[in-house]
Chains A and B, each alone.
Chain A
């Protein structure tokens, strides 16, 4: 049973029958654990995808695939459709040729609408084709919620994530270079200060941190004005600053990586007349590909999936993706289909990136774990 760890790589190439029974048992056990774990891990994503197409009223039974779209019955009341399924009555009127200023009573059924305005029932059926199935996605992608849309929120998330990653990389490399070697006491003190970040919970500092920003931002004239550009920009800036302030991990990664680069390299660059900044830019940077990848793959999901800080700092009309998704659940609390569509939509971009660059993730995380 004992040798297989040492010879694991050779094992894979050996034919099955030459294995001892114990090794075979281990491999069968390991494979079955992996298969079960994989299924358990993938299933929630699949179920979430399916559920984003299942109307809440159909959710009390198991659906393993998108259910056949049921037709909206002619007995359905207009008011219920607009309360529970966010049916936009203006859309309905426009599509059916009912004048805009006509008032549809909430208790009016679709059948009565057809009768009153002399519209063939088929036309109403066509309008509602797939209504229950695509309701979640339509509502999510088309509705405006508290002054912003899904796409605007996604754009803000991408902007914040992008700026944060670039700035954090640059600043952390600077910090790592300034601290490299940890030879002096001042360097050690700064290093320890960054290590402290790891044990300070966000919840401890979020309240006073918010207060601090309020003290400062209050001095900016336009900040008090709801919806002004300055207010929105400052709020996003606060998030970026929080993201790039540096963590224990980023500091450890770069101090360790730059510490292993021979001193001679810097000295010879200096002899050739390079400034320290040029040394960092042209010599250090190309050598730091591995730690940079390592840092990015660890920070990217944290930035993209940030919730608490945007929830606290951003106005609802200026929100990023996750607070936006959360506000759908406040707004459409009876329509879980929209919420599930939103949650699924929020996962997709990062998961695609993850699957495309999975090699970097695996290597980066393992390298980061060894440093940490």
Chain B
């Protein structure tokens, strides 16, 4: 949240800006540019930066809902609740653990699906038809992915369960509502959904590798794994960093799938952090607490994201 004030200040006042004296023409040019920049920038600042700013005073109150008539100042107690308040701890830590496990597994699927398929495509040549198939799940909503997971892997009615049993792959049906079921199936489904996106990121990284480096490694007799780790991957850093950033931010924000899997009623195993913030804010009247927890969770993440972005830009240059 500390980012917010500094970034809003960064918005320069054109009149004060120039270090060297601008010519009249340059100044006119700049005002013209700002006429084009302004419309979208106003909306952007209003909806992304201003909310971060107005959130700050709320964090120090006991505001319980959006139209709370009586609001008291409570100092830093929302921030310390995570370490002192058992009711918050009982909600937060299980959700935190589930989220972290999910992020880790989901990050693995980025490589299994995204990188794996990208390498396959790269080695046998780009196939538009197959790309269409891999990208298809991105057309469906997170909500639909969640309901498809339920349809496939509900313990007694899951179509996927029946098929896996017929094929002899599993003995006992999986259960999407169980802890193990949610932990394993959700990252696979999310990985499947974003496979096309991640494949595109890695494939564009692979396609940007100069042919000569590959050819010379072949001439020198490198085997495939040497080629992967010595030639491909070192030249694909921007792709790795981009995929990492997107996966981190995306997996912490996973929400629609969880709602479809019954996170707000039947399935406590799908209560991730995003669900926690949502219920605190909109359902159980602990708005200020929910906002504070969100800030405490995401602030390090935003810093990490900014660092990754800088790294990526440096690598690209």
Residues of A within 8 A of B (CB): 1-6, 8-9, 11-12, 26-27, 30, 33-34, 37-38, 40-44, 47-48, 50-51, 56, 59-63, 171-172, 174-175, 177-179, 184-187, 189-190, 192-212, 214, 241-242, 244-246, 276, 280, 301, 304-305, 307-308, 311-312, 322, 325-326, 329, 336, 339-340, 343, 346-347, 350-351, 354-355, 358-359, 361-362, 365-366, 368-370, 372
Contact = CB atoms under 8 A, between A and B. Distances in A.
Contact of B141 (A9, A47, A322): A322
B252 interface: yes
A247 B308 CA distance: 17
B148 to A, nearest CB: 5
B281 to A, nearest CB: 5
B160 interface: yes
A190 B37 contact: yes
Contacts of A204: 52, 294-295, 298, 302
Given A190-B11, A245-B43, A369-B203, A196 B3 contact: yes
B130 A203 contact: no
24 contacts: A2-B222, A2-B224, A3-B218, A4-B123, A47-B160, A50-B159, A63-B159, A175-B41, A178-B36, A193-B44, A196-B3, A203-B298, A204-B298, A207-B290, A207-B294, A214-B66, A305-B139, A308-B256, A312-B282, A346-B144, A362-B131, A365-B135, A366-B200, A369-B204
Nearest to B45: A193
B55 A203 contact: no
A37 B117 contact: yes
B54 A174 contact: no
Contacts of A207: 55, 277, 281, 287, 290-291, 294
Given A2-B222, A201-B298, 7 more contacts: A206-B278, A242-B47, A245-B46, A276-B32, A276-B36, A305-B142, A370-B208
A326 B122 contact: no
Q: Which of B30, B48, B259, B304 has the most CB of A within 10 A?
A: B48
B76 interface: no
B242 A9 contact: no
B227 to A, nearest CB: 7
Nearest to B126: A8
Given A5-B123, A179-B37, A204-B302, A351 B136 contact: yes
B131 A199 contact: no
Interface stretch (B81-89, B90-98, B149-157, B174-182): B149-157
Contacts of B159: 47, 50-51, 62-63
Contacts of A63: 159
A171 B40 CA distance: 6
A30 B130 CA distance: 11
B40 A245 contact: yes
Q: Chain A's interface: helix, strand, loop or mixed, by majority?
A: helix
Nearest to B49: A193
A47 B150 CA distance: 12
A19 B39 CA distance: 59
B72 interface: no
Contacts, number: 298
Contacts of B156: 59-60
B17 A185 contact: yes
B306 interface: yes
Contacts of B203: 366, 369
A347 B45 CA distance: 33
Interface in B178-218: 192, 196-197, 200-201, 203-204, 207-208, 211, 214-215, 217-218
Contacts of A351: 136, 139-140
Contacts of B214: 2, 5-6
A34 B132 contact: no
Nearest to B304: A199
Q: Which of A11, A325, A365, A368 has the most CB of B within 10 A?
A: A365
A202 B253 contact: yes
A346 B17 CA distance: 50
A189 B44 contact: no
B143 A322 contact: yes
B124 interface: yes
A84 B143 CA distance: 23
B47 A361 contact: no
A195 B147 CA distance: 33
Nearest to A38: B133
A8 B277 contact: no
Contacts of B100: none
B267 interface: no
A322 B255 CA distance: 13
